[in-house]
Amino acid sequence: MTPARVAFVSHNASRSGAPLLLLQLQRWLLDHSDHELVTVLLDGGPLEADFAAVGPVVGPDDLAGLDADLVYLNTVGAAPALAVLPDGPKVVCHVHELDYALTHWIDEADRDRLRHRVDRFLVVSQLVRAALERCVGVDPGRVEVHYGFVDVAAVAAGAPAPAASGTRVIGASGTHVIGASGTTEWRKAPDLFLALAAAVERRRPGGEYPWVGGADRGPEIDGVLADRDRLGLTDSVRFVGEQPDARAWFAAFDVFALVSRDDPFPLTVLEAAALGVPVVAFDSTGAREFLADGCGVVVPYPDVEAMADAVVRLLDDGPGRAALVEAARRRVRADHDLGVAAPRLQAAIESVLAS
């Protein structure tokens, strides 16, 4: 393929799913193609230096004069860039959002530009494809599903027990650890995590329930903490905030609980699978597509009682748990490893360039 100039527009450089996935893709392209890469950050964040290590980074003011063959919008959050983009380049949009974000994070003008200006949509799950059709009116024929991915070997290698890394000991002898991870915003439902912890404690007292990531104090989480104390779960449910060795925490979980009410295709679920941790999730998230066929447990949203039953079954049923963990591990290696998924994304980008 003739080398092309590809501009990646990211809504910010936060340490969250979409920017992390973009970085992995850019690094892959750097090693496996001759394309010239530019990153446009609409807002900053802790990953700025990582983006700068891949290639030049520019800001929103440079969009109008952008000289690129293809513009890759990394989320619909980057859609406002379409308002100032010159007419020339082809446009691909990678969509990581469901109904709420597609309705409330962008406005009708953005949706209109997405419908008319984007040549191809790459979405992270079938659930997102349906939401894109429902909320933005995008013809499903212009949409390709490209599930999220992780570097499985790197994830599995990065998981010493937290005790060894000096973070703190979780899951001391005899206790069960039901963990969760993500920001602490409404979509990720820390409120339902409390309800789950209470429901599991009724069935199996004495557990630990760490939530890794998001806020550990402040207005976003204060209400949840007050509820936690009211429920008598002060010592067992802990919001530990961002952790540099999050994977080491995951590795110490007996069960990973994805309690999100709205989650297009969380990478944390892939990481848990790579680490051999079984996952339970609600059917309102894209995770259900990865967890299907015995790779995890999916329960109807927001039935926390059913989720608690599933958690206890996983704690008790050794062989069943092992089979599930193995199936998930096989699937993450086969379909969601960087080495498998990034070439597919590269092919999608190049087919748009060639069209």
Specify the residue, 216 or 227, whose C-beta has the smaller distance to another protein: 227
Specify the residue, 51 or 301, whose C-beta has the smaller distance to another protein: 301
Which residues have CB under 8 Å from 239's CB, separation 6+?
184, 190, 211, 214, 215, 216, 221, 224, 225
- CB 121 within 8 Å of CB 142: yes
Specify the residue, 45 or 302, whose C-beta has the smaller distance to another protein: 302
Cα(166)–Cα(175) distance, integer angstroms: 20
Specify the residue, 231 or 327, whose C-beta has the smaller distance to another protein: 231
Cα(83)–Cα(36) distance, integer angstroms: 24
Min CB(176)–another protein separation in Å: 23
- CB 341 within 8 Å of CB 151: no
Min CB(100)–another protein separation in Å: 5
Biggest CA–CA distance in the chain, Å, is 63
Specify the residue, 5 or 187, whose C-beta has the smaller distance to another protein: 187
DSSP one-letter code for 177 = B
Peptide bond into 89 cis (omega under 30): no
- CB 290 within 8 Å of CB 331: yes
Min CB(278)–another protein separation in Å: 24
Min CB(293)–another protein separation in Å: 24
Which residue, among 162, 233, 164, 246, has the nearest Cα to 200 in the 3D structure? 233
- How many other β-carbons are positioned within 10 Å of the β-carbon of residue 316? 10
Min CB(329)–another protein separation in Å: 30
Specify the residue, 115 or 186, whose C-beta has the smaller distance to another protein: 186
Min CB(104)–another protein separation in Å: 5
DSSP string, 209-271: EEEEBS-SSSHHHHHHHHHHHHTT-TTTEEEEE--TTHHHHHHT-SEEEE--SS-SS-HHHHH
Min CB(236)–another protein separation in Å: 16
Specify the residue, 223 or 343, whose C-beta has the smaller distance to another protein: 223
Q: Which two tokens stand for residue 157?
A: 């290698």
> Is the Cα torsion angle 96, 102, 104, 108 positive or negative in sign?
positive
Q: Which two tokens stand for residue 77?
A: 């959050």
Specify the residue, 222 or 293, whose C-beta has the smaller distance to another protein: 222
Footprint on this chain of another protein (rule: CB under 8 A): 99-100, 103-104, 186, 191, 195, 222-223, 226-227, 230-231, 261-262, 284, 301-302, 305
Min CB(27)–another protein separation in Å: 35
